[in-house]
Structure 1
Amino acid sequence: MAAIDMNLVARSEYALHQLVKRKKNWAQREPGVIVVFVVVFLVALLVIAMFINKKRHAAKAGAVVQK
């Protein structure tokens, strides 16, 4: 008779395998949605940067006129 019950070893190996194995996460399953998020983020960043640049340019032009 074996000193270690092989059923317990097999179950623990299976449990360890279930814990260690990597599953595909949501981003890997839906790459198109991630691309859309990135494009929307970049467009929003561009619009915000343009707005800030316009305000800075207007403030700079207003300061020159007042002098």
Structure 2
Amino acid sequence: MVSKTFDDDRHYVLGDPELDLIGSREKLAQWRHKRKGPPFYKLGRKIIYRGADLNAWLAKNRTDPENG
């Protein structure tokens, strides 16, 4: 079984150090503005990322150099 980078059942908020694996706060903000990057929830001013969504986004954006 492959381990997951993020806990599927956890919700991550800006400032959580685990999000640094994907990008800085500024990079995540740019992606949200451009409608890129992982899915997120916006509750008022709070940004929330679901662990399951982060893992799915990482898997979708995986590059395998052997497959061109």
TM category, shorter: under 0.3
More helix by share: 1
Higher relative contact order (CA 8 A, sep 6+): 2
TM-score in terms of structure 1 length? 0.27
More strand by share: 2
Greater Rg by CA: 1
